[in-house]
Amino acid sequence: MKINYKKIFALLFLITSCAPIENYNKNIILTEPKFSNKGFTIIYSNSADIKNLVSKKIENRSLNVFQRNLPKGTTVKITNLINGKSVIGKVEEKAKYPKFYNSVISKRIANEIDLDESLPYIEIINISNNSAFIAKKAKMFDEEKQVADKAPVESINIDNLNATSLEKKLKDESIKKTNIEFNFIIKIADFYFETSANSMKNRIIDDLKMKNVKITKISNNSYRVFIGPFKNINDLKISYNTVSQLEFENIEILKK
Give the residue-averaged pLDDT of 171-186.
70
Task: Write the Ramachandran bin of 173: left for phi over 0, alpha for psi from -120 to 50, otherwise beta.
Answer: beta
| Statement: residue 144 has pLDDT above 60 | no
Q: Residue 86: count other Cβ atoms within 10 Å of its Cβ.
A: 17
Instruction: For each of the domains in the chain, give its residue range(s) and CATH number, in order of start.
Output: 34-180 (2.40.40.10), 184-255 (3.30.70.1070)
- Please report, rounded to a whole number, the percentage of residues in the chain having pLDDT higher than 70: 67
Banded pLDDT at 31 (limits 50, 70, 90) = very low
Distance of alpha carbon 181 from alpha carbon 153, whole angstroms: 48
Nearest to 194 by CA among 218, 175, 172: 218
Q: What is the pLDDT of residues 20-30, one digit of tens each?
A: 333 333 333 33
pTM of the model: 0.70
- Average pLDDT for 170-198: 79
What does DSSP assign to residue 119? -
